[in-house]
Amino acid sequence: MPDLTVVGAQWGDEGKGKVVDCLSRTARLVVRYQGGPNAGHTVRARGRETILHQVPSGILSPGAKCVIGCGCVVDPELLAEELAGLARAGVRTRGRLVVDGRAHLIMRWHRRLDRLREERAGAGRIGTTGRGIGPVSTDKVDRVGIRAADLLDEDAFQAKFKRNLAAANWLLMEKFRADPIPQRRLMADCWQATRPLAAMVGDGGALVNEALENGRRVLFEGAQGVHLDIDLGTYPYVTCSSTGVNGVASGVGVSPLWLTEAVGVVKAYTTRVGEGPFPTELAGAEGDTLRVLGGEFGATTGRARRCGWFDAGLVRSSVRYNRFTALALTKLDVLDSLVEIPLATGYRLRPQAGETRGGVVEHFDATRAARLEPLYETMTGWRTPTGHCRSWRELPLAARRYVRRLEELVECPVALVSIGSDREQIIEVKKGALQWLKSG
Ligand code: GDP
Ligand code: IMO
Ligand code: MG
């Protein structure tokens, strides 16, 4: 069947942008179903690096049209900047991007409230991207949000804008003891800034349904990662959406019964930005080494990413939640120079007070994350560059052994291995493992 969902299987930044770019060359539609400008998806093609935040990465595949689905939250000002950046890079976007009218809009006060809450939370901070994701999602669930379709009716927009700004100003003054945002100027600015977006508002869900009904190839692009999922992740250190295959149906408006294939994107080690549990995290010099080798600095905020060894229990639970057809393993080349590579096969559960024995746990358990002690085994490194390899057999034997061990541990085949950030630096491990590639 011509559909594929690409999902981050760790804590985000696994290389989804690169994988989506590689797989969307034959797609008719590339659809984001959740998240917003908190995402940063990097694509390197023809020597140029592009970071997509809200626009699906498929925009770099000229034959694909793109949809921002109803499950996304959209910042009109940042979207206008992103589109201007793409235009400067010579990427045609006119007529190629539809924003679902049901997607909620991020306003300036959402960003301000997000940042103030983080600043004031001290040790209780989440480490958000400061893009207003929490506050806009609060409005959505509270059923007072402003949606993209509201941009088509100036009176309705102005009424909601005034009401919501008044509520935000009350919070700014009463809760945060901060200055309110003056209304008149902001409303005019905002209406002006949203005109480009208004021209793209449409029924994204209908477009995707029609494509599926006509057998057209549709790729669903996830943002963030499974363990940042609002329900399944390391709550409260999560984002505000359903990040896995679970988010596609409600985030686009298609039946889940359409979905036939999903690829989990995993890094050959683990990273996380922001706060929250991270069992295999490496403090000190080892973590610094991985960060430098992998260039682990955030694509959205520039923050240093926390780094650690591959955690099979974490990915095993992602495989379970998503029933991935296969994995795309990225950044294998980052491990090229290491003599030995530890990887966590599962965990020992540290006993609680009153318990004498903890036991062994195979799946990451977000509710008991602080008690999970990784159990490691060590693989031999290959100590040779892999960036030039273009087939499975060209990879050094020790690298192939690492990949094989990893797929055995997480109980899911690896269909793609990425050995560099460039579009060409990708290897199809098993021909035919993905129907999407066979039928493309
Ligand atoms: P995303 O959010 O999942 O799309 O990932 P990001 O773009 O935030 O971070 C991934 C980073 O790794 C980007 O800088 C990519 O250019 C880079 N990258 C992707 N795949 C590879 C790879 O196989 N090897 C190396 N060295 N870098 C990669
Ligand atoms: P991509 O799509 C990595 C993290 C933040 C914070 C938590 C909540 O590039 O993989 P939010 O701003 O969403 O309220 O922040 O989620 N986070 C990400 N981490 N990659 C991302 O996106 C992320 N988007 C949000 O760092 O810990
Ligand atoms: Mg990213």
Q: What is the pLDDT of residues 135-188, one digit of tens each?
A: 999 999 999 999 999 999 999 999 999 999 999 999 999 999 999 999 888 898
Cross-strand pairs, 327: 264, 414
Give one DSSP letter per residue of 181-233, joined into a string.
Answer: PPHHHHHHHHHHHTHHHHTTEE-HHHHHHHHHHTT--EEEE--S-GGG-TTTS
Going by pLDDT thresholds of 50, 70 and 90, the confidence category of residue 439 is confident
Is it the case that residue 336 has pLDDT exceeding 90? yes
> Cα–Cα distance between 205 and 102 in angstroms, integer?
9
Q: What is the pLDDT at residue 75?
A: 97
Ligand 1 centroid–CA 18 distance in Å is 7
> Cα–Cα distance between 89 and 84 in angstroms, integer?
9
| Residue 16 CB–ligand 1 contact under 6 Å | yes
pTM for the model stands at 0.98
- Could you read off the pLDDT of 337-382 as tens digits, one per residue? 999 999 999 999 998 887 777 789 999 999 999 999 999 999 999 9
Instruction: Kindly list the domain boundaries of the chain, sorted by start residue.
Output: 3-8+20-101+204-260, 105-196, 264-439
Joined together, the tokens standing for residue 395 give 């990879």
Average pLDDT over residues 58-76: 97
- Of 25, 40, 18, the residue nearest 421 (C-alpha): 18
14 labelled binding-site residue: yes
> Cα–Cα distance between 407 and 152 in angstroms, integer?
49
| Residue 389 CB–ligand 1 contact under 6 Å | no
Atom 11, ligand 2: residue with shortest CA distance: 128
Q: What is the pLDDT at residue 301?
A: 83
438 labelled binding-site residue: no
Name the DSSP letter for residue 342: E
| Residue 13 CB–ligand 1 contact under 6 Å | yes
Which positions ≥6 away from 35 have C-beta within 8 Å?
72, 73, 133, 222, 223, 224, 239, 241, 243
We find that the CATH architecture of domain 264-439 is: Alpha-Beta Complex (3.90)
CATH for the 105-196 domain, from 3.40.50.2000, 1.25.40.10, 3.40.50.150, 1.10.300.10? 1.10.300.10
Q: What is the pLDDT at residue 354?
A: 79
- Could you read off the pLDDT of 381-420 as tens digits, one per residue? 999 999 999 999 999 999 999 999 999 999 999 999 999 9
> Cα–Cα distance between 329 and 404 in angstroms, integer?
11
41 is catalytic: yes
CATH code, residues 3-8+20-101+204-260: 3.40.440.10
Report CA-CA distances (Å) from 280 to 71, 222, 378.
32, 24, 13
Among candidate residues 13, 100, 139, 311, the one labeled active-site is 13
13 labelled binding-site residue: yes
| Residue 75 CB–ligand 2 contact under 6 Å | no
Ligand 2 centroid–CA 244 distance in Å is 14
388 labelled binding-site residue: no
Q: What is the pLDDT at residue 300?
A: 80
Ligand nearest, relative to CA of residue 267: 1
- Using the atom order of ligand 1, give the atom closest to the CA of residue 420: 24
Q: What is the pLDDT at residue 440?
A: 75
| Residue 9 CB–ligand 1 contact under 6 Å | no
- Could you read off the pLDDT of 237-261 as tens digits, one per residue? 999 999 999 999 999 999 999 999 9
Q: What is the pLDDT at residue 355?
A: 78
Is it the case that residue 113 has pLDDT exceeding 80? yes
Is it the case that residue 322 has pLDDT exceeding 70? yes
Cross-strand pairs, 6: 221, 263
Average pLDDT over residues 270-294: 96
Q: What is the pLDDT at residue 1?
A: 61
Q: What is the pLDDT at residue 356?
A: 75
13 is catalytic: yes
Is it the case that residue 200 has pLDDT exceeding 90? yes
- Average pLDDT of the chain is 96
Atom 27, ligand 2: residue with shortest CA distance: 274
- Using the atom order of ligand 1, give the atom closest to the CA of residue 330: 23
> Cα–Cα distance between 151 and 193 in angstroms, integer?
11
Which positions ≥6 away from 42 have C-beta within 8 Å?
15, 17, 18, 49, 50, 51, 52, 299, 421
Going by pLDDT thresholds of 50, 70 and 90, the confidence category of residue 46 is confident
